[in-house]
Amino acid sequence: MAILTKSKFMNGEQCARLLWFVEKKQLPELTLSDKHKFAQGHDFETYVKKLYPEGIELGDLSFEDNIEATKKAIANRKVIFEAGIKYEDFFIRADLLEPNGDGWNLCEIKSSTKIKPEHIPDLAYQKFVCEKSGLKINKCFVIFLNKDYIKDGEINPKELVCKEEVTEKVDLVKDVEKHAEQYLKILQQEKPAEIINSISKHCNNPHECPLKKDCWGTLPEYNVLQLTNWRVYWRLFNEGIIEIKDIDEGYKLSDKDEIIKEAVDENKVKVSIEHIKHFMRSLHWPLYHFDFETFDTAVPIFDKSRPYQKIPFQYSLHIQHKNGKVEHYGFLSEEGDPRSALLNSLKPIIGTEGDIIVYNQTFEVNVFKKLAEDFPEHKDWIQNVLDRIKDLAIPFKNFYYYNPKQKGSYSIKKVLPAITSKSYSELEINNGGDASMLYFYSHIKKELTNRDEIRKNLLKYCGLDTEGMVWIIDELNKLV
């Protein structure tokens, strides 16, 4: 018998195809990043529970036992974590139920730093099940992380945890019962929805769907979803125009999307020599090609850090001189809070003159700014670093260079192979998400035992990020 849980209801809100695959247990295997996200929620909940010492925990009970124990706890007006409530084929485990007058407060615990739009229908479904089962819900709340909390010694739950009422927003959600009944029918279908009918903006909203890679992998090599203007590409897609080559001449596209279409139609690289010349002439040598690797946690684990603050544990630095000489330096923390050691390692070698080249500067800039804030003794030289940063993504973000192989993306993972024919594909670690998690679970949590192998692969990966920037500069030089 199919049961619609609150998580399945939210799967249905995102995509009917996703809901079907969840029910059939046919989703891709969870990645280390997926497991990390779940762990962050669990860690945050432990501090929420400290604020309700009288609460009883029912999360470890089986389905039937959970429901029966919840009934008894409700009768005794207890504060309940993981309260199991069932109405017909609809079921929830409420994160927190607390008595309130003649009814109850329904609370959703989220390890986010703000209330998100998707939290509201989640609570609306829970409220629907509660009220259908005869439980009066007076107020609805979201419990979330205080983004401004700074750890200083032992975690203070009262300062870490925020709680905000959202009852009015929840009550504005319409058609909850109608949607729930639709999703129950989907659970009972023999086949999932067609792929082409399932692809939509919901593939990335509220989270990237675990089926996206498979679904989007069925699209033509050069498809309209590679355009930069999302309103335009969804309009085209919904009109049945899937391939870029099928966009009519004269269809109103942005300048960047015109370049993408021309590159695909003509099957050649599009280059604005004058713009690239201007960019290259703006550089001040030597060039310090720099890249951070970071990890973050919902609940801060180091003093002078906040929820989800990016903690840098590694850097790679390639110094490129105008005469062609290239030097490489790197840092990879051993254990504990890596920030002070990283800064002390970097300061003597990054110099005071010459541009610091990063790719997509917002990330590095924000990490440096937080380091200056948390370690004010380094503030002056960090400001010098910030003043010298140049973003190598600019020529690609502005489409001064575009190769159809980039497929609409200006990320370094797409640009590097497009302009140099070299890539990350042969590396054991080939993306920042894996780098972050493998370091965290081998060096901080120490749950992975192949620490030496992970360190070797981390050094190769981060090193390629900055060496790749040297190669990109070399290729841009050849163009001008």
Neighbour-count burial for 329-344, b at 16+ CB within 10 Å, e otherwise: bbbbbeeebbbbebbe
| Residue range(s) occupied by CATH 3.90.320 in the chain | 6-187
In the chain, the largest separation of any two C-alpha atoms, in whole Å, equals: 80
Decide if 401 contacts 380 (C-beta within 8 A).
Answer: no
Structural element, H or E, at residue 460: helix 451-479
**What pLDDT is stored for residue 153 in this prediction?**
98
pLDDT digits (tens, 9 = 90+) for 231-259: 999 999 999 999 999 999 889 999 999 99
Q: Whose CA is closest to 458, among 371, 317, 330?
A: 330
**What pLDDT is stored for residue 430 in this prediction?**
84
**What pLDDT is stored for residue 427 in this prediction?**
87
Q: Whose CA is closest to 455, among 475, 428, 431?
A: 428
Neighbour-count burial for 6-30, b at 16+ CB within 10 Å, e otherwise: bebbbbbbbbbbbbbbbbeeeeeee
| Residue range(s) occupied by CATH 3.30.420.10 in the chain | 269-480
Neighbour-count burial for 124-149, b at 16+ CB within 10 Å, e otherwise: bbbbbbbeebebebebbbbbbbeeeb
**What pLDDT is stored for residue 429 in this prediction?**
84
pLDDT digits (tens, 9 = 90+) for 325-341: 999 999 999 989 999 99
What global pTM score does this model have?
A: 0.94
Q: What topology is assigned to 269-480 in CATH?
A: Nucleotidyltransferase; domain 5 (3.30.420)
Q: What CATH number does the domain located at 6-187 have?
A: 3.90.320
- Regions of the chain where pLDDT drops below 50: none
Residue 297, CA distances (Å) to 89, 307, 310, 437, 459 in order: 36, 6, 8, 11, 22
Q: Whose CA is closest to 386, among 420, 430, 352, 338?
A: 352
CA dihedral 475→478→479→480, nearest 10 degrees, is 130
pLDDT digits (tens, 9 = 90+) for 55-65: 999 999 999 99
